[in-house]
Amino acid sequence: MNKEWVRETVRDIPLYYNPKVTAVRMDTSTNVLGPNPVVRDVLNGCADMDLNQYPKPYSDSLREALADTYGLKPDNFVVGNGSDEVLDIIFKTFMEAGETVVAPYPSYSLHGFFVRVNGGRFATVDLDEGFRLDPDALLAERGKIIILCTPNNPTANTFDAKAVERVVREHDGPVIVDEAYGEFAESSFLPLVDDYENLIVTRTFSKAYGMAGLRVGYMASNLEMAEQLQKIKIPYSLNRISEQAAIAALRDREYVDRSVELVRREREKLSRGLDALGLAPFPSQSNFVLFQCPVPSSEVVSRLAAKGVLIRDFGKQRMLEDCARTTVGTDELNTMLLSKLKEVMEEW
Ligand SMILES: Cc1ncc(COP(=O)(O)O)c(C=O)c1O
């Protein structure tokens, strides 16, 4: 194939992270309690669903359940096939080709991917040495859209709410607050969407809700913005089974509460265990921990994978030199992870 047939702006985009090893997955910050138990009941009832029919184009039932949960209106919400789809919708709706989207660095790599795929320019502003947000620097870039993620992936800290609020208040354009890990944090911007002309909050069922395999995400914004966003979503992108599972998961909070409690309890123990091995953890308000290795992190990650546990290496990225990220596991998983990491460090 002639490579010049490919749009210039996407020609050099690499494939996404797709590890080939079979190992215990502690690299994806998903739920370690196993699948959400409500999903089993939904799946058991699947045979009676009219799967010969399309779902509703905009998943109205799920939007109603979200409205009940958050005290907003169904039309404040747009749902999609994972929060990745809703992020993509935002750029398709608001960004002309060549316009700039500004984001803090380091953060979630797919933000830049969606911007580039949609023909935009992705500009980043470094976090400080404590991975804190600099609202002045973000605003000074004068991009069309600002996107930030709190708690931030992969650094695991939440940004100061006042700093985020300043960005929302002072930026003359859409501001996206990606709360994929919002359930693990103390505060959320989602209840505030009606207070701002420009705020969009994205969330997911992939993390605290334990449904990554079903691909359900959503965003909330004021009604006028949500109407524009809704028009751009691919109709029917969320299938009936996933929609029903998400509704059931919203109505039964037990598993989500248990997940959040587990993470809060285990995160400190895991961080202490990493510290004791000389693997310096950064503070976390999420269900994963970033830590810095005294030896090349790529080696730590590959040797650990050879022992059957996969964590994610970020060591080649600027500002994350020799850093790796692990999901916070159950007590049993963390004990196993720490004992294998101990072996790796001793063998080194
Ligand atoms: C910050 C952030 N946003 C969005 C996503 C995408 O989540 P989803 O599974 O809902 O597409 C992830 C997934 O890891 C993430 O870390």
**How does pLDDT run across 221-274, given as a tens digit for each residue?**
999 999 999 999 999 999 999 999 999 999 999 999 999 999 999 999 999 999
Please determine, for residue 48, whether its predicted confidence score (pLDDT) is greater than 90: no
SS3 284: coil
Percent of the chain surpassing pLDDT 90: 97
Query: What is the Å distance from ligand 1's center to 105 Cα?
Result: 16
**How does pLDDT run across 66-80, given as a tens digit for each residue?**
999 999 999 999 999
Quote the pLDDT of residue 171: 98
Quote the pLDDT of residue 70: 97
Pocket perturbation via mutation, ligand 1, pick of 16, 27, 84 by most ligand atoms within 8 A of CB = 84
59 pocket-lining for ligand 1 (C-beta < 6 Å) = no
Nearest CA to ligand 1 atom 15: 180
Please determine, for residue 210, whether its predicted confidence score (pLDDT) is greater than 90: yes
State the Cα angle at 275 between 271 and 276, rounded to 5°.
120
Quote the pLDDT of residue 55: 96
Quote the pLDDT of residue 217: 98
| pTM (predicted TM-score) | 0.97
CATH architecture for the domain at 3-30+256-347:
Alpha-Beta Complex (3.90)
Distances (CA, A) of 329 to 50, 231, 291: 38, 39, 15
Which residue ranges does the chain devote to CATH 3.90.1150.10?
3-30+256-347
Quote the pLDDT of residue 68: 98
Quote the pLDDT of residue 224: 98
Please determine, for residue 47, whether its predicted confidence score (pLDDT) is greater than 90: no
Q: What is the CATH number of domain 38-251?
A: 3.40.640.10
* Residues 6 or more apart in contact with residue 261 via CB below 8 angstroms: none
For 223, the token pair is 């009604």
Quote the pLDDT of residue 21: 82
Please determine, for residue 100, whether its predicted confidence score (pLDDT) is greater than 90: yes
Per-residue pLDDT, averaged over 86-103, amounts to 98
Per-residue pLDDT, averaged over 203-231, amounts to 98
Per-residue pLDDT, averaged over 206-210, amounts to 98
Rg (CA), the chain: 20
- Comparing 45 with 30, the larger pLDDT belongs to 30
| Cβ contact 197:64 at 8 Å | no
Pocket perturbation via mutation, ligand 1, pick of 90, 110, 203, 216 by most ligand atoms within 8 A of CB = 110
- Average pLDDT for the chain: 97
Residue type, 245: A
182 pocket-lining for ligand 1 (C-beta < 6 Å) = no
Given pLDDT bands bounded at 50, 70 and 90, which one contains residue 199? very high
**How does pLDDT run across 285-317, given as a tens digit for each residue?**
999 999 999 999 999 999 999 999 999 999 999
Query: What is the Å distance from ligand 1's center to 84 Cα?
Result: 6
Quote the pLDDT of residue 86: 98
Strand partners, 326: 289
Residue type, 85: E
Which residue ranges does the chain devote to CATH 3.40.640.10?
38-251
Per-residue pLDDT, averaged over 108-112, amounts to 97
Query: What is the Å distance from ligand 1's center to 48 Cα?
Result: 31
Given pLDDT bands bounded at 50, 70 and 90, which one contains residue 348? confident
Closest CA to 216 of 25, 76, 44, 81: 81
Distance CA 326, CA 267 (A): 11
Strand partners, 292: 280, 323
Please determine, for residue 61, whether its predicted confidence score (pLDDT) is greater than 90: yes
